Amino acid sequence: MSGVKQVYLFTEGNAEMKKLLGGKGANLAEMTRLGLPVPPGFTVTTEACVDYYRKGETLWPELEEEVAKALQALEKQTGKTLGGGENPLLLSVRSGAYFSMPGMMDTILNLGLNDKTVEALAKTTGNRPFALDCYRRFLQMYADVVLKIDHYHFERALDEVKKMFKVQPGDQLSEEGWEKVIARFKQIIEDNRQKFPQEPVEQLLNSIKAVFESWNNQRAIVYRRLNNIPDDLGTAVNVQSMVFGNQGEDSATGVAFTRNPSTGEKVLYGELLFNAQGEDIVAGIRTPLPMSALKERMPSIYDQFDNICTKLENHYRDMQDIEFTIEKNRLFILQTRNGKRTAAAAVKIAVDLVEEGICSKEEVLLRVEPSQLVQLLHQRIDTTLALKPLATGLPASPGAALGKVVFDANDAELKSAEGEKVIMVRSDTTPDDIHGIVAAQGVLTSRGGMTSHAAVVARGMGKPCISGCEAIKIDPKAHLFQVGEQVVKEGDIISIDGTTGNVYLGEVPMISPELSPEFQKLLSWADEVRKLQVRANADNPRDARKAREFGAEGIGLCRTEHMFMEQDRLPIVQEMILAETKEERNKCLLRLLPIQQGDFEQLLREMEGYPVTIRLLDPPLHEFLPNLEELLIEVALLKERGDNPSLLKEKEYLLKKVRALNEFNPMLGHRGCRLGLVFPEIYRMQVRAICQAVVALMKEGLDVKPEIMIPLVGHPRELEIMREIVEDEAAKVKKEAQVEFNCPVGTMIELPRACVTAGQIAKHADFFSFGTNDLTQTTFGFSRDDAEGKFLPFYVQEKILPDNPFMVLDREGVGSLITQAVTAGREQKKELKMGICGEHGGEPQSIEFCHQAGLNYVSCSPFRVAIARLAAAQAAINANGDAGQK
Amino acid sequence: MSGVKQVYLFTEGNAEMKKLLGGKGANLAEMTRLGLPVPPGFTVTTEACVDYYRKGETLWPELEEEVAKALQALEKQTGKTLGGGENPLLLSVRSGAYFSMPGMMDTILNLGLNDKTVEALAKTTGNRPFALDCYRRFLQMYADVVLKIDHYHFERALDEVKKMFKVQPGDQLSEEGWEKVIARFKQIIEDNRQKFPQEPVEQLLNSIKAVFESWNNQRAIVYRRLNNIPDDLGTAVNVQSMVFGNQGEDSATGVAFTRNPSTGEKVLYGELLFNAQGEDIVAGIRTPLPMSALKERMPSIYDQFDNICTKLENHYRDMQDIEFTIEKNRLFILQTRNGKRTAAAAVKIAVDLVEEGICSKEEVLLRVEPSQLVQLLHQRIDTTLALKPLATGLPASPGAALGKVVFDANDAELKSAEGEKVIMVRSDTTPDDIHGIVAAQGVLTSRGGMTSHAAVVARGMGKPCISGCEAIKIDPKAHLFQVGEQVVKEGDIISIDGTTGNVYLGEVPMISPELSPEFQKLLSWADEVRKLQVRANADNPRDARKAREFGAEGIGLCRTEHMFMEQDRLPIVQEMILAETKEERNKCLLRLLPIQQGDFEQLLREMEGYPVTIRLLDPPLHEFLPNLEELLIEVALLKERGDNPSLLKEKEYLLKKVRALNEFNPMLGHRGCRLGLVFPEIYRMQVRAICQAVVALMKEGLDVKPEIMIPLVGHPRELEIMREIVEDEAAKVKKEAQVEFNCPVGTMIELPRACVTAGQIAKHADFFSFGTNDLTQTTFGFSRDDAEGKFLPFYVQEKILPDNPFMVLDREGVGSLITQAVTAGREQKKELKMGICGEHGGEPQSIEFCHQAGLNYVSCSPFRVAIARLAAAQAAINANGDAGQK
């Protein structure tokens, strides 16, 4: 890499250089290019960071020289000198990766201060306490980030000095106090056998090194894993001249969004603090003011800012998240980026941007993250009920959740792993709490604003969050919080509504979501471009109705076994399984027939005009019988007690039956069409029930479209025989009823053997439906029930696999088999209809694969239909555009 | 098919027309062509039989006309007339399919007799009792075969008449007696509302029809299934002029082999009966004489026959099985075919034919059926011990067996299905007993010769058989047999030695087989042509030695888990699994290390100079722990009793552990390299043990060739990591010992995902070994443990699958995945070594596939190494020759 430029002045870069300069660096350069008031600075490239790791974590002379040159230019631009003169140059040093990783890496402010420059700063600002405060802040940050000294030491020292000078925790010290603090801080550094360099260039180089290293701190690694960001990109380092929002009441610092990130409403939305530094806002220690405070107190600066916002939004064609500082009535823009937003806001902003003529439909369709939509599709608290909240905080991330109270991220993780739903309650959160937010249903904090750490992270994850709920008093040691007299202990259940900010004691009723008009509009645009049909997996009329509401174009998978499990049928099903003769079995089946027919009538009626794919019985029969282990113990105890020989006999008989049906590997056992082949009478009953339902509905004049699907076919002969049986039974019903109707017969493709012999299987099939759950199991040789509880989390964590293949379809393995099957199937039968009905059918990356593989439809759970519609549209747009777009 | 010739005179056909004329018909034509004394006749083709079924089981005018024309020609050739004149033509009507199905279909003799011709026959032969006997035999056969009247009626009638005339069961009746019998027989037919036609052409057409129909009787269907003969070939019908071996003491009938079918010795070997018809020999009612009797009594005919035998053997280039009849001092050859033989005979004859210059090596290599060799590789009775036999019969089929006595084929099947080993003891067997012979370990009969039904069938199946053991008196009703005073009851154990004919009471010691010099020679020829290397699966020095004796060129699979299971290690293994910390686990592993090292030293020492592929631990850990069900019951009972709280606590702890490790589908669970990844310390211990063993043996100057194999790899990254661990540990041992050695690292390919990503996996592998057991399970989605006990027998029986895919490799599915993997693997790494180590490695059809797929080796159980060597040679020869050869 030597010889390649690795340091760029802001005036040398632009927004296109995001990969090299990181998102923040490229935007600072772009804003500079646009003539916005950006404090001058330069960026050390991401490539330099990668080199840093390649070279064994050490800086090298060429880079140091480039930094020195950039510094000279910066001194020229600002008219200030680093480490010297009357007007010392102070710098901020910040990370900035290609993908935004907010708060994950380190920052150092006020760099350039030392025992000499602090006095020069005091002189130019005319505010020695301010200068001393800056110096002690720098000492503390440098010690923390570069020297890795625990910040606890510094906080204790500060508290002690404040006590000594009888100053309240929130208030400022005198010059004498700050001098004392600075002396104490230097002592702490010495006590830790570290050195604070007085030479600012040394400070700078060490800080650059430290930022490089923060790329690989624990938080950053976890964040990248959660967000699928590659580990080898590296971070850029932005070195920028400092401006101060804490130079008095004519100074301020703030964060603003060009539109409301919670609702998407087109209104300047943000927070600021007067006489404060940026970190004060993010830390959530002081509760900030709304933007209206700026309009009131500095109307012309507000207008200037508003203009810049419009300019930036038009330039970036998206809602912006802007950091700004006002230094003595002068506005500086420190950062802009596409703003994070809730799903609701994402949808509204997308639709508005199109209607405002700023963006094209395709552009905004690509911009909404389908998986984020989940939060729009989740429950909210029923506001028609007059519920009395326990307390109210800021509505920081919408949606509702309930769970047991925990006060610690580790507890949240632990309890959640045990299957508990938890709400994490904290005074505020830090990046160290991320795993707790991941594990919890929602977050409640007593401090911090809408842009506090908890709020930002929760919104990103689509989890409900209430921040700044000052009414609650947390006592983490006692494991409880109080609201007035009301005590809420760890383990008590609370409900939170992140849309209103209300906290409720106990469980409150929640209701299901509907689609907003904007959402409907966005989806209708998606429908215009997508090629994949979207169906739903539904086994009952309730789910079918929900699926239709979300826009499903049919049912791709109706699992008939769920009907067998219902309480009124199970005894008959059990009797059928235990039958000794075919006659006995047939008697039970005759009793099941009208019940099944009723099931199908309801379902087909609900889906009138749309295809309904009904899968015949799939699971092994012993799933319908009592549990083997329980029976074993029961029989052992009955024997031991010897007091009920007739019950013992009965249970022993049952045990014998259950044991005979029990399997070593039920997943690979006697199930699917293997049942249908050995017990054709069961499948015949189901086919008859379907056909009789069709006849009954046709007589009512309804247009119903049943499709019969045979599960677990691995050999063409299996399907050939099953098809004969289905057609024979259907023909009988048609003849009896003197009615004609069409009922295609297809098969699940869910075994590797089915994929490699798909050409032969296609001869007997009207359609294929890829069952990617089972196909993933057999292709990998993973039992999902076992793998997800045992080695699969380890596999994903250690990156042996990029994702859990049961969540994201494995393209290399499972996908390759699907592609073989699609090709061979279509070669045999050009118009063969193909779809997918595994859980992958509702997962965006997998849907993209389905589009690329040329399937006709995806089928997913009703609640994911909207996600699938959008993801299918994105797949279609991406397939049309150039490959680099995604 | 109309217009196509469907009836051929023997003078019109030849040996090449086997498909059309059946084996018997083609051979009769060929012998006629060679000028041998064959009674004239004609053949109705197999195609006519197929048409017969197509046309709804009815004859058609064109065929009847062709038969009539052939009859005319036959009358001209013989100078006899069917149904008329002084010299009536009598016919035999026999089945004859493409593949020999001895005794499975029907035969009718003496056709053409009626109330008129019987008297003409009496006149020309000057033997009226003989003519009447022929007539009643024909009546009985016609009634049985054509009219389907139970032969029991006729046997009872004959017995009654014999009693009436006070004639002993074996002796002949007077003319008056026979007339009575004939009248009774006609009455029986009438009583059954059937009609015996006096018109011989009607007799003939009905008989042809009946033979066609016998193609689909139960016996024939079972036989075809057992022998993998297609159901749609049909049988030809051979109509031949009768000759009579029962015309007095100058007449005889017999069966002879050109070489001894038991040992292969080059000597005319056969049996005959004077004054008898052929059926008398096959039926086993009279005990026949050896061929020496013919030499004594008719030396010139013996010489003529001997010449014919030599001529036929040279013509067919194989040992012949010849049926002959002598009618009044005139020799007729009725049939010749390649003789069935024991495996020992097959090997000796093959080698002799090459050494006599009759055949090429390739020719005989193709001729020996590899699976038949199993019987040479099985046990025999230790003859060095002075064991006293209970009785001695004819050594009808070699090999030794022991089991519980059963007297009935159904019992044999039932007991065998329950897991019992049984010996079937019968006075004689008929085709109805086949399922009993299949189920039994061996057969013992009190009647019949070396060519009796029991003997022929048992030899074909490679099962030990003793026939004609007249010392045993069977009382099937009392479920026992007696030898003098000694009573042997049903369920008692006996041992039989089919090589010597000795029957022993109880279990006798048996010894393992060695390879005969001829066998060694044949295998050495196989070694010259085969391309596939043959290795063995062996986990201990004993098996390794056996494998070497059978010619294995290395060990293809050493399963280290078997070492973990041995009694002295299991407690340590359990302690390791139950360990709470890595430290505890490491302590246990340290104790296992020297034991494992010892295992490997022994194995590598035994295989010096040959590669030994060692697979690291594969099965899920809970396989080493106590059974969950037993523990559940134990804990429940301990709780109920409440008298041993400390034991309860201990067991509860164990239960918790076992339950935590227990899996829903252990086949797809935490096993193979998934264990190695999560618990690398276990694999490290194994690698260290292997490497330290290598070092120790190298210090002794031994040349050892270890190969380390990683199980259950599905993703390239798994192998990449495992390989790093293996190489790291190996490097440590090498450094410690200051020794260098080579130890390739490869992987099992036993998951569909491994097959489709084989190109990527190959990057990290020195070799691939296809684990076709697991690969078959995952490709089909069949759990072998469940499938073989549940639906798989049904699948094979109903021909949903052609074979059990765990026995014969599924080429379409599993084979297609293997082919993909071979191609991708070799594209990545041209010289990648590939083999197979599933059970298919010892199965001839699967070995042929391995050859075609381009694998380097097969690995199988030590006892199947010889079979694999031969099968590999056949695959190579077949691949070179034209496709039609096989």
In this prediction the ipTM stands at 0.77
Q: Quick one: tokens of B600?
A: 């490997």
Q: Do B800 and A760 touch (CB under 8 A)?
A: no
Q: For residue A834, is pLDDT > 70?
A: yes
In terms of CA atoms, which chain B residue is nearest residue A814?
B753
Residue A315 and residue A298 in contact, taking contact as beta carbons nearer than 8 Å: no
Torsion of CA B369, B375, B378, B382, to 10 degrees: -140
Lowest mean pLDDT: which of A111-115, A610-614, B100-104?
Answer: B100-104
Residue A791: its chain B contacts at CB < 8 A?
A: 670, 674, 677-678
Partners of residue B487 on adjacent β-strands? B482
Q: For residue A52, is pLDDT > 90?
A: yes
Distance of alpha carbon A860 from the chain centroid:
18
In terms of CA atoms, which chain A residue is nearest residue B819?
A756
Q: Of B664, B753, B780, which has the smallest distance from its Cβ to A779's Cβ? A: B753
Q: Do B812 and A760 touch (CB under 8 A)?
A: yes
Instruction: Determine which of A755, A800, A817 to mutate to test the interface with B (most B C-beta atoms within 10 Å).
Output: A800
Q: For residue A413, is pLDDT > 70?
A: yes
Mean pLDDT of B808-837: 97
pLDDT of residue B404: 96
* Residue A115 burial class via C-beta count within 10 angstroms: exposed 0-12, middle 13-18, buried 19 and up: exposed
Whether residue B453 lies in the annotated active site: yes
In terms of CA atoms, which chain A residue is nearest residue B640?
A637
Local confidence band at A377 (pLDDT 50, 70, 90 cut-offs) = confident
Q: What is the least distance, in Å, from the CA of B322 to any CA of chain A?
A: 43
Q: What is the least distance, in Å, from the CA of A789 to any CA of chain B?
A: 10
Q: State how beta strands B510-511 and B380-381 pair.
A: antiparallel
Q: Do A781 and B778 touch (CB under 8 A)?
A: yes
Local confidence band at B374 (pLDDT 50, 70, 90 cut-offs) = confident
pLDDT of residue B883: 34
Q: Quick one: tokens of B205?
A: 């057409």
Mean pLDDT of B511-528: 89
In terms of CA atoms, which chain B residue is nearest residue A716?
B800
Q: What is the least distance, in Å, from the CA of B621 to any CA of chain A?
A: 12
Q: Do A778 and B718 touch (CB under 8 A)?
A: no
Mean pLDDT of A565-584: 88
Mean pLDDT of A540-546: 88
pLDDT of residue B881: 72
Q: Of B760, B786, B794, which has the smallest distance from its Cβ to A664's Cβ? A: B786
For A637, phi and psi rounded to 5 degrees?
A: -70, -40
Mean pLDDT of B144-156: 91
Distance of alpha carbon B606 from the chain centroid:
33
Mean pLDDT of A560-578: 87
Q: What is the pLDDT of residues A18-41, one digit of tens each?
A: 999 999 999 999 999 999 999 999
* Residue B823 burial class via C-beta count within 10 angstroms: exposed 0-12, middle 13-18, buried 19 and up: middle
Q: Report the C-alpha gap between A366 and A353 in whole angstroms.
A: 13
Q: Do B715 and A801 touch (CB under 8 A)?
A: yes
Q: Report the C-alpha gap between B271 and B289 in whole angstroms.
A: 5
Q: Do A670 and B785 touch (CB under 8 A)?
A: no
- DSSP state letters, A687-700: HHHHHHHHHHHHHT
Residue A811 and residue B812 in contact, taking contact as beta carbons nearer than 8 Å: no
Alpha helices by DSSP H, B491-540? 517-529
Q: What is the least distance, in Å, from the CA of A70 to any CA of chain B?
A: 43
Amino acid at B102: P
Q: Report the C-alpha gap between B227 and B235 in whole angstroms.
A: 16
Q: For residue A829, is pLDDT > 70?
A: yes
Instruction: Determine which of B618, B750, B779, B810 to mutate to test the interface with A (most A C-beta atoms within 10 Å).
Output: B779
CB within 8 Å of A248: residues ≥ 6 apart: A127, A275, A328
Q: Do A810 and B753 touch (CB under 8 A)?
A: yes
Q: Quick one: tokens of A512?
A: 């299901």
Residue B580 and residue B660 in contact, taking contact as beta carbons nearer than 8 Å: no
- DSSP state letters, A37-78: ----EEEE-HHHHHHHHHTTS---HHHHHHHHHHHHHHHHHH
Residue A750: its chain B contacts at CB < 8 A?
A: 781
Q: Do A718 and B800 touch (CB under 8 A)?
A: yes
Mean pLDDT of B633-656: 92
Q: Do B799 and A678 touch (CB under 8 A)?
A: no
Q: What is the least distance, in Å, from the CA of B665 to any CA of chain A?
A: 4
Instruction: Determine which of A618, A632, A659, A780 to mutate to test the interface with B (most B C-beta atoms within 10 Å).
Output: A780
Q: Report the C-alpha gap between A852 and A848 in whole angstroms.
A: 6
Q: For residue A747, is pLDDT > 70?
A: yes
Looking at per-residue pLDDT, the higher value among A621 and B758 belongs to: B758
Local confidence band at A886 (pLDDT 50, 70, 90 cut-offs) = very low
Percent of chain B with pLDDT over 90: 70
Q: Report the C-alpha gap between A870 and B500 in whole angstroms.
A: 81
Task: Report the SS3 class of residue A762.
Answer: helix
Q: For residue A464, is pLDDT > 50?
A: yes
Q: For residue B884, is pLDDT > 50?
A: no
Q: Do B813 and A753 touch (CB under 8 A)?
A: yes
Looking at per-residue pLDDT, the higher value among B608 and B286 belongs to: B608
Q: Catalytic pick from A837, A850, A851, A860?
A: A837
Q: What is the pLDDT of residues B755-806, one digit of tens each?
A: 999 999 999 999 999 999 999 999 999 998 888 878 988 898 888 999 999 9
How many CB atoms sit inside 10 A of residue B67's CB?
A: 22
Q: For residue B462, is pLDDT > 70?
A: no
Residue A266 and residue A320 in contact, taking contact as beta carbons nearer than 8 Å: no
pLDDT of residue A380: 76
Q: For residue B730, is pLDDT > 70?
A: yes
Q: Do B665 and A633 touch (CB under 8 A)?
A: no
Q: For residue B886, is pLDDT > 70?
A: no
Q: Of B628, B721, B783, which has the smallest distance from its Cβ to A800's Cβ? A: B721
**CA dist B184 → A494, B128, B156, B191, B363 (Å):** 100, 18, 10, 10, 56
Percent of chain B with pLDDT over 70: 97
Q: Do B669 and A787 touch (CB under 8 A)?
A: yes
Q: What is the least distance, in Å, from the CA of A600 to any CA of chain B?
A: 29
Q: For residue B171, is pLDDT > 80?
A: no
Numbers of helices and strands, H then E, in chain B: 35, 31
Mean pLDDT, rounded, of chain A: 91
Local confidence band at B882 (pLDDT 50, 70, 90 cut-offs) = very low
Q: Report the C-alpha gap between A834 and A839 in whole angstroms.
A: 16
Q: Do A752 and B778 touch (CB under 8 A)?
A: yes
Query: Which run of H or of E encompasses A814?
Result: none
Q: What is the pLDDT of residues A323-351, one digit of tens each?
A: 999 999 999 999 888 898 888 899 999 99
Residue B777: its chain A contacts at CB < 8 A?
A: 668
Q: What is the least distance, in Å, from the CA of A673 to any CA of chain B?
A: 11
Q: Catalytic pick from B153, B378, B453, B851?
A: B453
Q: Catalytic pick from B837, B840, B850, B860?
A: B837
Q: Do A801 and B637 touch (CB under 8 A)?
A: no
Residue A753: its chain B contacts at CB < 8 A?
A: 779-781, 810, 813-814
Angle (CA) A42 A46 A48, round 5°? 85
pLDDT of residue A233: 93
Q: What is the least distance, in Å, from the CA of A641 to any CA of chain B?
A: 9
Q: Report the C-alpha gap between A193 and A810 in whole angstroms.
A: 51
Q: Report the C-alpha gap between A753 and A762 in whole angstroms.
A: 13
Lowest mean pLDDT: which of A185-199, A829-843, B352-366, B445-459?
Answer: B445-459
Q: What is the pLDDT of residues B536-580, one digit of tens each?
A: 999 889 889 989 999 999 999 999 987 888 778 889 999 999 898
Q: Report the C-alpha gap between A721 and B791 in whole angstroms.
A: 15
Q: For residue A717, is pLDDT > 70?
A: yes
Partners of residue B404 on adjacent β-strands? B422, B493
Q: Of A668, A774, A816, which has the smallest distance from its Cβ to B667's Cβ? A: A668
pLDDT of residue A882: 40
Residue A786: its chain B contacts at CB < 8 A?
A: 663-666, 668-670
Q: Report the C-alpha gap between A870 and A848 in whole angstroms.
A: 11
Mean pLDDT of B499-519: 86
Residue A774: its chain B contacts at CB < 8 A?
A: 781
Q: Do A637 and B632 touch (CB under 8 A)?
A: no
Q: Do A670 and B787 touch (CB under 8 A)?
A: yes
Residue A823 and residue A768 in contact, taking contact as beta carbons nearer than 8 Å: no
Distance of alpha carbon A877 from the chain centroid:
23
Residue B639: its chain A contacts at CB < 8 A?
A: none
CB within 8 Å of B625: residues ≥ 6 apart: B574, B577, B578, B654, B657, B658, B661
In terms of CA atoms, which chain B residue is nearest residue A775?
B781
Looking at per-residue pLDDT, the higher value among A857 and B508 belongs to: A857
Half-sphere exposure (Cβ direction) of B695: Cα atoms closer than 13 Å: 18
Whether residue B837 lies in the annotated active site: yes
Q: What is the least distance, in Å, from the CA of A668 to any CA of chain B?
A: 5
Mean pLDDT of A855-867: 92
Q: Report the C-alpha gap between A269 and A264 in whole angstroms.
A: 10
Q: What is the DSSP letter of B88?
A: B
